[in-house]
Amino acid sequence: MATHDPMHQFQISPILQWMPGGIDLSFTNSSLWMVIGAICSLILLGVASSRKSLVPGRIQLVGEEIYGFVENLITDNIGQKGKEYFPLIFTLFMVVIVGNMLGMVPYSFTYTSHLAVTAALALLVFFIVLIVGIIRHGAHFFHLFVPPGVPGWLLWLVVLIELVSFISRPVTLSVRLFANMVAGHVLMKVIAGFAIMFASMGGLAWAGSLLPVAFNIVMIGFEFFIAFIQAYVFAVLACIYLKDTIEIDH
Amino acid sequence: MELEAVKMLAGAIALLPLAGVALGLGKIFAAYNEAVGRNPGAADLLNKKFMFTFAVTEALGIFALLIAFYLVFA
């Protein structure tokens, strides 16, 4: 059963072991795919912007589309003031979407399917929002938790709810991405397991495996959609959190 | 009961929230289609909001599915 275990694909195995002072800093398969992802996006964007022509070629068009997509996303959600956060949002979007898309390659490793990776990204967003808020507004930043026009006897409850929702942001942000990636990949493996089960029954039962295979083909398309949409949602939520903090106008 | 049986049962119970997610997603799809039907010009604007709310709602169902998978396989 070990080879058919759907959770096996998420196992982290060290490629180069390195443990200075008992801290595990090994180069794992997760790190390897992160490096591959970084190289892929660097090559794509590097080639796209190497020969800049007025009428874009195919690769240049891809680069321009990605740039324009993220730029639109920022101006829609933050406004013109958000332009200075473009490098941050673009990097986050590229890291997440490249990780999700590389995970769809057979026998690859999805680095966004680990809570450690997504939690690091989400905590980065959380602390950047916190630091930007405190630098921009100083002590006025804490007005974020006190909405205007709330009656005094209800204020403690509203502040408590706002505080909890602010602190739970990195949790929901990271768990959403990681759960989507894990559940999608496990679902595909489970359905593929049904196909193997039918095929190993012998006789005419192999025909029954056509149904799971057909379903899996649809699921692969859906997984590509999910891979894109989760990266989009991650970037949009980062924008919305930044906007909340930039525009404290009470 | 055996441990294996309890695991399977717990996995099934963990999937109950999918009912709520299904209702929510149905409402989102219905509202989107109705809005685009009434005002096709706003389709571009609504499409983005629709994708966002769809992904956020769908993630809740994924949470339940993930917990069920962990209960059954891990």
Higher-pLDDT residue of A71, B59: A71
Indicate the DSSP class of residue B2.
-
Mean pLDDT of A116-130: 94
Domain residue extents for chain B: 17-73
pLDDT for the residue B16: 92
For the record, the structure tokens of B13 come out as: 């119970």
Summarised one tens digit per residue, pLDDT across range A88-117 is 999 999 999 999 999 999 888 999 999 999
CB-based contact A110:A154 (threshold 8 Å): no
Task: Assess B38–A contact: CB distance below 8 Å, yes or no.
Answer: no
**Chain B interface mutation, best of A174, A185, A229, highest count of B Cβ atoms under 10 Å:** A229
Q: How far apart are CA A7 and CA A189, in angstroms?
A: 9
Question: What does the pLDDT read at residue A1?
Answer: 41
CB contact (8 A) between residue A179 and residue B63 = yes
For the entire predicted model, the pTM comes to 0.87
Selected for mutation to probe chain A from B69, B70, B72 (highest A CB count within 10 Å) is B69
Q: Measure B57 CA to nearest chain A CA, in Å.
A: 10
Name the DSSP class of B10: H
**A202 vs A2 pLDDT, higher one:** A202
Nearest to B74 among A7, A180, A236 (CB): A7
Å from A206 to nearest chain B CA?
A: 25
Tens of pLDDT, residues A134-187: 998 888 888 888 888 888 888 889 999 999 999 999 998 999 999 999 888 988
**Residue showing tokens 């949009």:** A236
**Minimum distance, in Å, between the CA of residue B37 and any CA atom of chain A:** 24
Question: Would you state the structure tokens that stand for residue A213, as one six-digit string?
Answer: 């295979």
The pLDDT of residue A37: 94
SS in 3 state form for chain A? Answer: CHHHCCCHHHCCCEEECCCHHHCCCCEEHHHHHHHHHHHHHHHHHHHHCCCCCCCCCHHHHHHHHHHHHHHHHHHHHCCHHHHHHHHHHHHHHHHHHHHHHHHCCCCCCCHHHCHHHHHHHHHHHHHHHHHHHHHHHHHHHHHHHCCCCCCHHHHHHHHHHHHHHHHCHHHHHHHHHHHHHHHHHHHHHHHHHHHHHHHCCCHHHHHHHHHHHHHHHHHHHHHHHHHHHHHHHHHHHHHHHHHHHHCCCC
Domain ranges for chain A: 2-246
SS (H, E, C) B13-61: HHCCCHHHHHHHHHHHHHHHHHHHHHCHHHHHHHHHHHHHHHHHHHHHH
Is B73 within 8 Å of A186 when comparing Cβ atoms?
yes
| Chain A touched by B22 (CB under 8 Å) | no
Residues of B in contact with A175 (CB under 8 A): 63
* Residue type at position A211: L
Rounded to a whole number of angstroms, the distance from the CA of B59 to the nearest CA of chain A is: 6
Read off the tokens for A21. 């002072």
**Residues of A whose CB is below 8 A from B73:** 5-7, 186
Tens digits of residue pLDDT in A17-75: 888 877 888 888 899 999 999 999 999 999 998 888 888 888 899 999 999 999 999 99
Size of interface A-B (CB pairs under 8 A): 43
ipTM of the complex: 0.77
